[in-house]
Amino acid sequence: MPSLPTFQEMYSAIATRDDSFVGIFFVAVKTTHVFCRPGCPARVPLVQNVEFFSTSSEALHAGYRPCKRCRPMDTVLRPPAWVDDLVSRVDRNPQARISDWSLKQEGLDPERVRRAFRRSFGMTFQAYCRARRIGLALQSVREGQDVFTTGLDHGYESDSGFRDAFTKILGAPPSKAGSARVLTCRWLETPLGPMLAVADERALYLLEFVDRRMLETQVARIRGRFKATLVPGANSVLDQTEQELNEYFEGKRTTFEVRLELEGTDFQETVWKELLRIPYGQTRSYQQVAIEIGSPNAMRAVGKANGDNRLAIIVPCHRVLAANGTLHGYGGGLWRKQRLLELESGQAQLL
């Protein structure tokens, strides 16, 4: 992923409405929860109220919605009107699930919808819905807000959209989260994009890139397996995780010491523990992992357990390659897998 210009350069570009930066970055406004492209005709926000993203997907997953004036997700070709209608409907009710069946009932071919959204926005319609849903729920995590007492308004007429999304993604309405077993979650910034970390005072349960498609599934599995709800906050395990990740990306750490919660099926736990034995700077094939765990014919099952790993980077599934040495099957994106391997081989330093 290309690095962004400096903060000052980007703020200067939006202050002067310099549209030569279109495609280089997106600007998000914390007070309105809207993101724009450079050159947007809207009023220039105060410097303390802006942040910048490399892609529209990052902005969506950070909880922002696209500006209706500069339309930052549009490509050169304007999308058809029915695409605008679908986007508006998702913004009005982001927690609603719009199925292929319901699209058909409205006379829209689901495949046509997928193609139109991918062409116009670089992602499918369902990916757009998922990004808005997750982004809305993660907004409080990212800002560390007290969701029990703070009335949050994410650009909607009320905070009901946030509360519904919070319930669907994190497990319980904010006002009732205290009645369940609570795991604390925090948004962590990394050179490869933001990650969601989930822990209690004993161990780390989840560490995953927030734009990964499996994030909702992973959170749901944690909620179900541990009978827990997730709330934003801080604890010693999250502090340790953040510190160790920073040291890792600085090239100062080759092993992690934070305690991990690896509970899964017997086979999953066996695979995950074998992944932890792959040394920093080395790789293994799926077949080699299968042999090491005593199941030489279970390469596909090893790959499935690899994909189910909910502790990215720390349980180093990125160190597993195809038999011919090529990159294969990383939920966070093959570009991230490549960057992690480059870092560990000494070819790159990400901070």
56 vs 315 pLDDT, higher one: 315
pLDDT at residue 156 greater than cutoff 60? no
Averaged confidence pLDDT in the chain: 82
- pLDDT, position 289: 96
SS3 of 221-252: the string is HHHHHHCEEEEECCCHHHHHHHHHHHHHHCCC
- pLDDT, position 305: 94
- pLDDT, position 83: 83
Q: Read off φ and ψ for residue 42, nearest 5 degrees.
A: -65, 165
- pLDDT, position 28: 95
- Domains of the chain, by residue range, sit at 13-56, 74-176, 180-351
Helices (H), the chain: 7-15, 56-61, 81-92, 100-105, 110-121, 125-143, 160-170, 215-226, 236-249, 266-275, 286-292, 299-308, 334-344
Whole-angstrom CA distances from 162 to 67, 211, 230 are 19, 18, 14
- pLDDT, position 147: 45
pLDDT at residue 220 greater than cutoff 90? no
pLDDT digits (tens, 9 = 90+) for 1-60: 456 788 998 999 999 988 777 778 899 999 999 999 988 989 999 999 999 998 888 888
pLDDT at residue 351 greater than cutoff 70? no
Instruction: Return the structure tokens found at 285.
Output: 């094939």
Lowest pLDDT segment from 72-81, 129-138, 163-172, 310-319:
163-172
CATH class of 180-351: mainly alpha
Instruction: Return the structure tokens found at 270.
Output: 């066996």
pLDDT digits (tens, 9 = 90+) for 96-126: 788 889 899 888 888 888 877 876 666 788 8
Residue among 52, 44, 1, 47 at smallest CA distance from 25? 52
- By 3-state DSSP, what share of the chain in percent is helix, strand and coil, each rounded to 5? 45, 10, 45
Number of residues that this document lists for the chain:
351
CATH class of 74-176: mainly alpha
pLDDT at residue 148 greater than cutoff 60? no
For the entire predicted model, the pTM comes to 0.65
How many whole angstroms separate alpha carbon 242 and alpha carbon 331?
A: 21
Residues 320, 324, 328: CA angle, nearest 5 degrees: 45
149 vs 63 pLDDT, higher one: 63
- Name 260's bridge partners: 204
Residues 68-97 have a mean pLDDT of: 78
Return the active site residues: 317
pLDDT digits (tens, 9 = 90+) for 238-269: 999 999 999 999 999 999 999 999 999 999 99
Same fold, 74-176 and 180-351: yes
Residue among 52, 46, 42 at smallest CA distance from 7? 52
The fold adopted by the segment(s) 13-56 is: DNA Methylphosphotriester Repair Domain (3.40.10)
Q: Checking DSSP bridges between strand 181-188 and strand 228-232, what pairing results, if any?
A: parallel
Q: Residue 261: CB partners within 8 Å, gap ≥ 6?
A: 202, 203, 204, 205
- pLDDT, position 158: 42
Confidence of residue 73 (pLDDT cuts 50, 70, 90): confident
How many whole angstroms separate alpha carbon 178 and alpha carbon 229?
A: 9
pLDDT at residue 175 greater than cutoff 70? no
